Amino acid sequence: MDRRDGRAMARLYDRYGRLVYATVFRIVRNQAVAEDLVQETFLRAWNRPGIFDEHQYAMGPWLLAVARNRAIDHCRSQAEPGASRAVFAENEDPRLYAGLEAGVLDAEQARRIKQSLAQMPDHHRQAIEIACFDEFSPIRMAARLGQPLVTAMASLRSALAELRRAMEAGVAP
């Protein structure tokens, strides 16, 4: 974000808000505190316009680092009443997180896929596992499932459509 652009901030929140919340909530285990810390995290990004060169640095990992640091700091302040809040500015340099966005988002997506698969009917889950994870050809997949090729392929298409719907619906942790 080069300047304080409300639409850019909204897009940023839409893209990373749930992931930042999940990161914070896993640490603080309190919904109200997590919501406050998410707001502080995005406020930090809002108050630092121009810090990022979108072609060089990734905003997602930086946001997650800020959120994590704020959550840890909150937990420390609760454990040590009266302790001063630590400042993690040295860990907030975007250059430290260049190139990490894909891995962080891939891990979150993998978790969501695993959760979605666990909620699917066995025959859909099995079709996806055989075709995608075991990398069976359609003919081998049909033989493994004990189904005609057309039936196995229809089952796979149906299972993938169900997985896509679950992912678009944003299966929450």
How many structural domains does the chain have?
Answer: 2
- Can you give the pLDDT at residue 37? 94
Provide the CATH number for the domain around residue 73: 1.10.1740.10
**pTM for this predicted structure:** 0.47
Asked whether residue 94 falls in the same domain as residue 139, the answer is no
Q: Which one of 98, 119, 139 terminates a domain?
A: 98
Asked whether residue 90 falls in the same domain as residue 126, the answer is no
Host domain of residue 50: 6-98
Residue 155 in any domain: the answer is yes
Asked whether residue 66 falls in the same domain as residue 146, the answer is no
pLDDT tens per residue, range 20-48: 998 898 888 899 999 999 999 998 888 87
Residue 130 in any domain: the answer is yes
Distance CA 148, CA 34 (A): 50
Q: Beta-carbon neighbour count of residue 47 at 10 Å?
A: 9
Residue 1 in any domain: the answer is no
Mean pLDDT computed over 127-153: 85
User: 104 vs 75, 99, 109, CA distance in Å?
Assistant: 23, 10, 9
